[in-house]
Structure 1
Amino acid sequence: MDEFALMANHNHRIRNLLLTETETGNSNKAPKLLSLDDYPHWKYRFEIHINGVDTNLWMIIKGNDALKNIKSKALRKEFNNFMYVGNESLDELIARFYHLLSELYNYQVMTTTQDIHDFIQKIKEHEIENK
């Protein structure tokens, strides 16, 4: 019986070690983003990992102000023109929309509640037209 308890404890410790390594990474492997809700913490861990590899690499990845401005404008345009693509399902559309919202957040492009309501109204109208 003690052998089973010892083995269960050992397996639990290995599982925790692997989970920690997945979340924090190591010198050879970057941390993984397991959930978009965890993005701010993951970004911090990823930045630490990249700085450990090469201190200039994070600045290259992050981009300069001109690049951020161009990306912000492109994201705003994409948000304003956002609509169904081909035979996309509503679930696929929502997943793309949430991804776009996270990109907007990352580039500090502000969206208002009215923007979201307008988007929902546009989707409702599209759904009614295609029934």
Structure 2
Amino acid sequence: MDISEVSERSGIAPSGLRYYEKLGLISATGRNGLRRQYDPEVLHRLALISMGKAAGFALDEIAAMFRLNPTLELPRDEIAAKAAALEAEIVRLKDLARLMHHVVRCPEDDHMECPRFRTLLRASTRARRNGG
């Protein structure tokens, strides 16, 4: 597959593909004229890169994983830690959304007079202090 097809199928601009290649995240199998050629498996690698970025891994962290595991065996312990951090962030964001929805529906003119608001606010503050 040439670089334009990989770009079209992955949604990553050719400049991004060249940058990923420079970082060692992907590699071309050769050239057809001036156009880089890639093995179709590069699409799986690009999907993993996108997943890693979405999960909060930096490109240099992803590149290190790939260098250590050229067969794409992913480091389960690092991914488990990242998944746990994402789950904690989801809980924190759900608590925050619950608090904000309550503010919108709260019958009290002064939110600090509302016992439910105060409870949600304490829970939100506790979650932030505990790293969630």
Query: Which bin holds the TM-score, normalised by the shorter protein?
Result: under 0.3
The structure with the largest strand share of the pair is 2
Structure with the bigger RCO (C-alpha within 8 Å, sep 6+) is 2
Q: TM-score scaled by structure 2?
A: 0.22
Q: TM-score, normalised by structure 1?
A: 0.22
Point out the structure with max Rg over C-alpha.
2
